């Protein structure tokens, strides 16, 4: 997805100007209310008779900005590149904010939810959207919601889960079902975030699938439609991902043939990565899409290949902005203290990277402006933990208090994975480009 820096910076600049003006007007009004006689004297008698209102330096700003036109264009391109028999769902765990979901709804085949809260959220706002229910540790109350909401498919994580689901299904109602499989693959190339391909709490180990298929044979409450795989996230290599998907297809064909199943739909999960460390080297989606065309042509018996991507769809539409509120040097190392922190934007901490950012110079700042030139800086936030670091050892030309640090690639697993209750700091501002 193209990063539209200029549009984002313009939008943010307008917000900052309003912020300063609103802050100063509020301060003036508060001062006036507290010292009415002084103001009368100031207004009507003599400008020198009393002390004027001291301008208060406004609090620095932090904000999320979502670029919805960029999101639309990106998702349209991704979906248009898919071959026939292939569809794209959106895994809303990446970012379930309403402007994002409203933008996505007409573009994707549906939504994937991984909790009762996500199911409720989708149904509340999109009563008719196709909806998948997956995720580990499903509660009975969540299974009951899935039945009530008539989900498009439920991804079962264990036989015990299926037994609980069966007990909840009303007579005559069949649940469209995929089995979530943890497939052992000896040659699987690991990424930095693995959910399977090795012992894990996710899905059903592939060596247990034959016994489960035998059991399912006598269960009319379940309409087994296919299999679901999500072994990893952060995939940056299109060829490796195509090879992985091919392994899924081979396995599904094998089970269908061996057990006489008509369950040739394959949900291949999400997992396409974002390169935070080298932002100009992103996953080559066009080459991946070409490979998908070839792959599906080679497996005509596969009825449907379904994606449920999160990160790759929304990461690049989001930005997190922090205004610098202090600059410090500690034993030779320089620190920018930003308004906000990892309680809003935990992505760099969660993935263990130094997040890229741009400095948006602010010409006007109504307070003192310590500055650094030609230095390496580490960006920290407002939390009382040494883990509140967003970027480390980044060379900068010049940075001042009041300048804005703008972090791109903040539209997925950002706000929604952050420990927002820590220290009860205020939320960031929310800005949307439409
Ligand atoms: C079952 C499942 N599907 C889809 C996704 C989305 O993955 P990604 O955001 O890497 O595309 C995840 C992420 O954890 C997942 O667990």
Q: What is the pTM of this model?
A: 0.94
Q: Are residues 267 and 322 in the same domain?
A: no
Establish whether 256 is a catalytic residue.
Answer: no
Look up tokens 């392994």; give the residue.
247
Instruction: Give nearest CA residue, ligand 1 atom 10.
Output: 271
Centroid of ligand 1 to alpha carbon of 397 (angstroms)? 38
User: What atom of ligand 1 comes closest to residue 180's alpha carbon?
Assistant: 1
Question: Count of domains in the chain?
Answer: 2
Q: Are residues 200 and 344 in the same domain?
A: no
**What is the model's pLDDT at position 197?**
74
Residue 123 vs residue 233, higher pLDDT: 123
In a domain, 92, yes or no: no
27-81 pLDDT, tens digit per residue, is 778 878 887 765 554 444 444 445 566 667 889 999 999 999 999 999 999 999 9
Pocket of ligand 1 (CB under 6 A): 91, 94, 134, 195, 230, 233, 269-272, 308-312
Q: Domain boundary residue among 288, 309, 330?
A: 309
In a domain, 103, yes or no: no
Q: Domain boundary residue among 309, 326, 354?
A: 309
80-129 pLDDT, tens digit per residue, is 999 999 999 999 999 999 999 999 999 999 999 999 999 999 999 999 99
**CATH code of the domain covering residue 344:** 2.40.37.10
Q: Domain boundary residue among 285, 309, 333?
A: 309
Range in 65-69, 101-105, 196-200, 306-310 the model is least confident about:
196-200
User: How far is it, in rounded angstroms, from Cα 337 to Cα 382?
Assistant: 7
Q: Are residues 218 and 296 in the same domain?
A: yes
Centroid of ligand 1 to alpha carbon of 2 (angstroms)? 23
Answer for the pair 182, 228: CB distance below 8 angstroms, yes or no: no
Centroid of ligand 1 to alpha carbon of 332 (angstroms)? 41
DSSP notation for 180-202: EEE---TTPPP-SEESSSSS-SS
Kind and range of the H or E run holding 405: strand 404-407
Q: Residue 378: which domain range? A: 35-65+316-433
Centroid of ligand 1 to alpha carbon of 272 (angstroms)? 9
In a domain, 13, yes or no: no
Centroid of ligand 1 to alpha carbon of 424 (angstroms)? 29
**Given ligand 1 and candidates 191, 269, 272, 276, which is best to mutate, with the most ligand atoms within 8 Å of its CB?**
269
Greatest Cα pair distance in the chain: 97
**CATH code of the domain covering residue 157:** 3.20.20.10
Instruction: Give nearest CA residue, ligand 1 atom 5.
Output: 270
In a domain, 74, yes or no: no
Q: Are residues 227 and 352 in the same domain?
A: no
Q: Are residues 243 and 137 in the same domain?
A: yes
User: What atom of ligand 1 comes closest to residue 228's alpha carbon?
Assistant: 1
Catalytic residue among 62, 86, 309, 384: 384
């Amino acid at each position: 997805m193209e990063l539209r820096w200029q549009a984002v910076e313009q939008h943010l600049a307008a917000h900052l100007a309003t912020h300063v003006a609103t802050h100063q007007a509020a301060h003036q009004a508060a001062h006036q209310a507290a010292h009415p006689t002084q103001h009368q004297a100031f207004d009507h008698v003599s400008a020198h008779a009393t002390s004027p209102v001291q301008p208060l330096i406004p609090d620095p700003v932090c904000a999320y900005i979502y670029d919805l036109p960029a999101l639309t264009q990106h998702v349209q391109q991704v979906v248009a590149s898919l071959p026939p028999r292939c569809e794209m769902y959106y895994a809303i765990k990446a970012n379930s904010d309403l402007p994002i979901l409203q933008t996505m709804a007409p573009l994707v085949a549906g939504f994937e939810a991984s909790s009762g809260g996500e199911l409720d959220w989708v149904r509340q706002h999109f009563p008719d959207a196709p909806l998948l229910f997956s995720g580990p540790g499903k509660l009975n109350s969540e299974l009951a919601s899935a039945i009530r909401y008539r989900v498009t498919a439920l991804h079962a994580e264990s036989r015990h889960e299926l037994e609980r689901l069966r007990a909840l299904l009303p007579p005559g109602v069949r649940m469209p079902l995929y089995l979530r499989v943890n497939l052992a693959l000896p040659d699987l190339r690991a990424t930095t975030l693995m959910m399977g391909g090795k012992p894990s709490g996710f899905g059903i180990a592939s060596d247990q699938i034959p016994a489960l298929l035998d059991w399912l044979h006598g269960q009319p409450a379940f309409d087994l439609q296919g299999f679901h795989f999500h072994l990893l996230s952060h995939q940056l290599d299109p060829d490796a991902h195509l090879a992985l998907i091919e392994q899924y297809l081979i396995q599904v064909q094998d089970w269908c043939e061996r057990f006489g199943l008509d369950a040739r739909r394959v949900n291949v999960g999400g997992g396409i990565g974002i390169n935070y460390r080298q932002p100009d080297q992103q996953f080559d989606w066009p080459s991946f899409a070409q490979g998908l065309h070839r792959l599906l042509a080679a497996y005509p018996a596969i009825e449907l290949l379904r994606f449920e991507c999160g990160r790759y769809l929304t990461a690049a539409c989001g930005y997190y902005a922090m205004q610098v509120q202090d600059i410090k040097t500690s034993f030779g190392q320089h620190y920018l203290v930003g308004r906000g922190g990892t309680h809003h934007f935990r992505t760099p901490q969660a993935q263990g990277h130094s997040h890229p950012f741009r400095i948006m110079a602010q010409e006007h700042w109504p307070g003192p402006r310590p500055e650094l030139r030609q230095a390496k800086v580490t960006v920290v936030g407002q939390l009382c933990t040494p883990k509140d670091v967003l970027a480390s050892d980044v060379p900068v030309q010049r940075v001042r208090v009041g300048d804005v640090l703008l972090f791109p690639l903040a539209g997925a697993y950002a706000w929604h994975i952050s420990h927002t209750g820590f220290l009860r700091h205020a939320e960031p501002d929310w800005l949307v480009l439409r």
